[in-house]
Amino acid sequence: MVLAWLVLQYSTVHVDISIDRVYKLRLDTKNPDMDYGRLRETELNKLLSQFVERNKAKGRNSYNKFLKGLKPWQRKTFERAVKEDKNYYVLEFSNLGGLVMPILLQLTYTNGTVEDKYIPA
């Protein structure tokens, strides 16, 4: 703590935290009935080939195998995420300055609510 106070008091170290990348993610359910529907929505003008129809059955088998391999808490979390069907955002930060600093975020949602997040150094 004393060292940090001395750095703040007696140095010219700059404080700079940058947002390097923002990823928008959507959960891949691995359920062919849901995922093929999503893919179909994005590619409405393409015809569904027999190859895709045949692989849909194989996808169901691997999906059921995937579900059986989950622990109960993982399955509960997975089912909640599938039901909510939301987008997820991942932010990558980097410290460009010379001083380790916490990250202070203020998130504003579309409904107008504001949430403050504090990520310690």
Q: Assess whether pLDDT exceeds 70 at residue 46.
A: no
E strands in 6-110: 17-26, 87-95, 103-108
CB contact at 8 A, 79 and 69: no
Whole-Å CA distances, 114 to 3, 24, 104, 105, 108: 35, 20, 13, 10, 5
Whole-number Å distance between alpha carbons of 103 and 119 = 5
Predicted pLDDT of residue 113: 94
**Distances from the Cα of 99 to the Cαs of 9, 71, 75, 92, 117, in angstroms?**
12, 42, 41, 18, 20
| pTM of the complete model | 0.47
pLDDT at 95 over 90: no
- Please report which confidence band the pLDDT of residue 9 belongs to, taking 50, 70 and 90 as the band edges: low
User: What are the pLDDT digits (tens) for 23-38?
Assistant: 777 777 777 777 777 7
Query: What pLDDT, on the 0 to 100 scale, is given for residue 32?
Result: 73
| Beta-carbon contacts of residue 19 (< 8 Å; ≥ 6 apart) | 91, 92, 93
For residue range 66-91, list pLDDT tens digits in order.
888 888 988 888 888 788 877 778 78
Domain ranges of the chain: 1-27+89-121, 28-85
For the segment 53-64, what is each residue's pLDDT rounded down to a tens digit?
666 666 677 778
Strand-pair category, 87-95 with 103-108: unpaired
Q: d(Cα 31, Cα 19) in Å, to the nearest integer?
A: 34
